[in-house]
Amino acid sequence: QVQLVESGGGVVQPGGSLRLSCSTSGFIFSYHGMDWVRQAPGKGLEWVAFIRYDGSNIFYRDSVKGRFTISRDNSKNTLYLQMNSLRVEDTGVYYCAKRGRVQIAGVTAHYYYYYMDVWGKGITVTVSS
Amino acid sequence: DIVMTQSPLSLPVTPGEPAFISCRSSQSLLHSNGYNYLDWYLQKPGQSPQPLIYLGSDRASGVSDRFNGSGSGTDFTLKLSRVEAEDVGVYYCMQALQTPITFGQGTRLEIK
């Protein structure tokens, strides 16, 4: 079955760095876009970044631009999130999520819609002095 | 950024009764292709989120037909018919029309 397993979390001081990994199995990784979503302690979900199936399109939320880098290695079926210049407010559980594709019939053409159909169990990142 | 606002934030429900969660967006989520780019997710206690509804009203694979999504533009509703104990958790709406992708604050459903 489809599995996403995050790793690389831990405790780091403000200004430090961490690299998260999301190891995947059970599907053709190179066919699917991927996201990172985080959740601060006791708070709601916050989208962090997205990478297209081939890495050609990448998007970030403003608060992590220039500090975080999303990447993927399709030969290793693995997604990454390099996090630099970490801040206390980056603390939380980080989830990787796979984008599933559904075909939809538009008014004049067919389209594809991609939603987060499988999520990992998450990995905790704590930024504290 | 598109702001997503859910109500209520807390929802106590008697088993067997229906439940309704509202989600409003600060901009229309209607894409030029005629579909609303609005998804619903459920995060059960101690678990990661799981998809319920995509494109406003289509159930994700394996989701019970007790879950129904409706609405268009800026106003959306998730209806749970006949709430069961296993439905407990936090429900989030999410817009996928533009980045940054944004979520509602979450609605915590509990059993009375």
pLDDT digits (tens, 9 = 90+) for A100-119: 999 988 667 778 999 999 99
Interface of B with A in 47-76 (CB under 8 A): 47-51, 54-55, 58, 60-61
Q: Euclidean distance between the first and final Cα of chain A, in Å?
A: 40
A46 touches chain B (CB under 8 A): yes
CB contact under 8 A, B33 and A46: no
CB contact under 8 A, A47 and B101: yes
- Average pLDDT of every residue of chain B: 97
pLDDT at B4: 98
pLDDT at A90 over 80: yes
Q: What is the pLDDT of residues B38-95, one digit of tens each?
A: 999 999 999 999 999 999 999 999 999 999 999 999 999 999 999 999 999 999 999 9
Q: What is the pLDDT of residues A44-62, one digit of tens each?
A: 999 999 999 999 999 999 9
pLDDT at A109: 75
Give the span between the Cα atoms of B42 and B76, in whole angstroms.
16
Question: In this complex, which of A44, A45, A116 lies closest to B51 when CB atoms are compared?
Answer: A116
CB contact under 8 A, A45 and B96: no
Pick the residue from chain B with its C-alpha nearest to A60: B100
pLDDT at B89: 98
pLDDT at A35 over 90: yes
- Average pLDDT of the segment spanning B13-29: 97
Q: What percent of chain B has pLDDT over 90?
A: 97
A27 touches chain B (CB under 8 A): no
